[in-house]
Amino acid sequence: MNLEDEIRSALRPKEPSPEFTERVLARVYGMPVRPAPRPWVRWVAALAACILLASGAMGYRQYRGERAKAQVLLAFRIAGGKLNKAQKKVQMLNAARRNNS
């Protein structure tokens, strides 16, 4: 490698790390430097959020299902009751006709 290449390599612009700005500002204002969160903390937070969302969705599905079940039973109770009433009246009328004839 010649001198020109070595100089070019040494002077190549580099992107600062994400914490660089924070560190510089902390020095300027005399604030303590906050350590960067460890990568696994983010994964755990993401996983916890996923579990929370999934359990929420399951709970809502359970609620909707139980409510729908109760509505089905109520609907059958009402429909059955009205049919029963009509059936009984028809039977009473038939019985009355038989007695008359």
To which H or E segment does residue 63 belong? helix 39-100
- The first and second tokens of residue 90, run together, are 């028809």
The nearest distance, CB 69 to other proteins, in angstroms, is: 4
Q: Does 42 engage in binding with other proteins (CB under 8 A)?
A: no
The nearest distance, CB 51 to other proteins, in angstroms, is: 23
- Which listed residue (57, 65, 95, 96) binds other proteins by CB under 8 A? 65
With b meaning 16 or more CB within 10 Å and e meaning fewer, what string describes 19-49?
eeeeeeeeeeeeeeeeeeeeeeeeeeeeeee
* Contacting residues for 23 by C-beta, under 8 A, at least 6 apart: 33
Q: Closest CB to other proteins among 53 and 93? A: 93
Q: Closest CB to other proteins among 43 and 63? A: 63
Q: What is the C-alpha radius of gyration for the chain, rounded to an integer number of angstroms? A: 39
**Contact characters 45-64, other proteins, x per CB under 8 A:** ----------------x--x
The residues of the shown chain that bind other proteins, judged by CB under 8 A, are: 61, 64-66, 68-69, 71-91
